[in-house]
């Protein structure tokens, strides 16, 4: 490879690694940061090595046969002598694949049960995940917190293991919960409850997505797992458990409470108790809106409320006719919900 090309490849790799931290990007499956993901990764590498060995042996034998026995100038054009049956060869290509399948299926069974047999410790954080078209609802039932699209979980270290157990349900169609660096995919299926667990080993933001086609905006059904130190996690929990703060301007709050928005959204401590859309009690503690599509700012929030169908056509949030003054008042109120 010419030097310049080698440098380019090196730069590309470096940028991939650098950009992966502290935002743990989707798809970086070669850098697992949780026990279930590590186990899955080990199994994938074992499978990859066996398959690569089979490929290399077969490819080498084909290349050898082509070169060694190919037609040469002066060879006779007649059919070569045909050989039928060889017990040794037949036994070899029956036994070897059986052994390979045995090794792979046993390793898969071992890793599947190692992940599934994990007992839930008493101090585990438990979250009920509900998949909706097209956003994620997260309920920390024990802690009495409800949030959307972004979960906070504590860091797990060797000295202080902290597990988070997820119970997965769907409100409508089949979805899939997948944060590649933390664990394998788990289906989220209507009328069925699935479970999984995670133990993130580095703080930071892990990106995840819906891994099961669930309608037009499936691709815009992403999620974030924010991994905090145990102290920061406790602070976050304490803040989330508070009811929404008293607004500086009651008029702005009224603009929201008089709108149709309260039919779907909840803001704890106010008459807004709609159960259908994301809980907005601590909206501004989240980094993004629209299932992580856009960073959450006053401007993006205003755009979103003005016409939710522009950014995410087909989503269940209707466009409500609002004057500019109403819109401004509503955004001014919502941006106080820390
Ligand atoms: Cu939800 Cu795809």
CA 282 – CA 338 distance, rounded (Å): 5
Is the distance from CB of 203 to CB of 229 less than 8 angstroms? yes
Specify the higher pLDDT residue, 334 or 175.
175
Q: What is the pLDDT of residue 201?
A: 95
Q: Where are the beta strands (DSSP E) in the chain?
A: 23-24, 125-132, 135-140, 145-148, 150-154, 164-170, 175-178, 186-188, 194-198, 204-210, 222-228, 288-289, 294-295
Q: Would the pLDDT of 198 be above 90?
A: yes
Q: List CB contacts of 209: < 8 A, sequence separation 6 or more.
A: 26, 178, 219, 221, 222, 223
Q: Would the pLDDT of 16 be above 50?
A: no
Q: Would the pLDDT of 102 be above 90?
A: yes
Q: Would the pLDDT of 124 be above 70?
A: yes
pLDDT in tens, 204-240: 999 999 999 999 999 999 999 999 999 999 999 999 9
- The stretch 292-300 carries a mean pLDDT of 85
Q: What is the pLDDT of residue 246?
A: 79
Q: Which residues line ligand 1 (CB under 6 A)?
A: 131, 134, 175, 210, 212-214, 218, 221
> Of the given ranges (149-163, 184-198, 243-257, 300-314), which has the lowest mean pLDDT?
243-257
Going by their DSSP bridges, the two strands 135-140 and 125-132 should be labelled as: antiparallel
Q: What is the pLDDT of residue 19?
A: 45
Is the distance from CB of 196 to CB of 183 less than 8 angstroms? yes
| Ligand 1 atom index nearest CA of 214 | 2
Q: What is the pLDDT of residue 103?
A: 95
pLDDT in tens, 277-288: 998 888 888 888
Q: Work out the number of other CB atoms within 10 angstroms of the CB of residue 73.
A: 4
Ligand 1 centroid from CA 168, angstroms: 13
State yes or no: cis peptide before 47, omega within 30 of 0.
Answer: no
- The stretch 9-15 carries a mean pLDDT of 51
Ligand 1 centroid from CA 133, angstroms: 7
- The stretch 120-146 carries a mean pLDDT of 94
Is the distance from CB of 294 to CB of 311 less than 8 angstroms? yes
pTM to 2 decimals?
0.83
CA 294 – CA 300 distance, rounded (Å): 7
| Ligand 1 atom index nearest CA of 188 | 1
Tokens, residue 221? 């059904």
Nearest of 209, 220, 206 to residue 185 by alpha carbon: 209
> Of the given ranges (123-132, 159-168, 255-264), which has the lowest mean pLDDT?
255-264
CA 50 – CA 321 distance, rounded (Å): 61
Which residue's C-alpha comes closest to atom 1 of ligand 1?
175
Q: Would the pLDDT of 110 be above 60?
A: yes
pLDDT bin (cut points 50, 70, 90) of residue 2 is low
Q: Work out the number of other CB atoms within 10 angstroms of the CB of residue 276.
A: 13
- pLDDT averaged over the chain? 88
Q: What is the pLDDT of residue 18?
A: 43
Q: What is the pLDDT of residue 10?
A: 53
Q: What is the torsion angle, in degrees rounded to the nearest 10, for the CA atoms of residue 180, residue 181, residue 185 and residue 189?
A: -90
| Ligand 1 atom index nearest CA of 174 | 1
| Ligand 1 atom index nearest CA of 212 | 2
Q: Would the pLDDT of 309 be above 70?
A: yes
């Amino acid at each position: 490879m010419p030097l310049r090309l080698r440098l380019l490849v090196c730069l590309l790799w470096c940028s991939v690694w650098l950009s992966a931290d502290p935002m743990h990007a989707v798809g970086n499956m070669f850098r697992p940061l949780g026990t279930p993901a590590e186990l899955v990764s080990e199994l994938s590498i074992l499978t990859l090595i066996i398959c690569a060995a089979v490929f290399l042996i077969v490819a080498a034998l084909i290349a050898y046969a082509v070169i060694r026995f190919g037609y040469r100038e002066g060879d006779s054009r007649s059919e070569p002598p045909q050989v039928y049956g060889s017990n040794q060869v037949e036994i070899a290509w029956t036994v070897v694949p059986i052994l390979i399948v045995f090794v792979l299926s046993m390793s898969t069974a071992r890793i599947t049960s190692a992940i599934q047999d994990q007992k839930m410790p008493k101090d585990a954080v438990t979250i009920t995940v509900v998949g909706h078209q097209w956003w994620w609802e997260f309920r920390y039932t024990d802690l009495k917190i409800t949030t959307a699209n972004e979960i906070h979980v504590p860091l797990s270290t060797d000295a202080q293991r902290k597990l988070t157990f997820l119970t997965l349900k769907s409100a409508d169609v089949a979805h899939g919960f997948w944060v590649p660096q933390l664990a394998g995919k788990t289906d989220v299926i209507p009328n069925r409850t699935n479970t999984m667990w995670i133990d993130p080993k580095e703080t930071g933001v892990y990106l995840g997505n819906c891994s099961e086609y669930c309608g037009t905006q499936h691709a815009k059904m992403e999620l974030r797992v924010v991994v905090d130190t145990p102290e920061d996690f406790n602070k976050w929990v304490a803040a989330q458990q508070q009811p929404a703060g008293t607004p500086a301007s009651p008029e702005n709050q009224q603009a929201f409470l008089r709108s149709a928005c309260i039919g779907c959204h909840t803001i704890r401590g106010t008459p807004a108790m709609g159960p259908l859309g994301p809980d907005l009690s601590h909206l501004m503690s989240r980094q993004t809106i629209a299932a992580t599509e856009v960073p959450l700012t006053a401007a993006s929030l205003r755009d979103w409320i003005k016409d939710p169908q522009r950014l995410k056509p087909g989503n269940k949030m209707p466009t409500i006719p609002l004057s500019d003054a109403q819109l401004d008042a509503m955004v001014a109120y919502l941006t106080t919900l820390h």
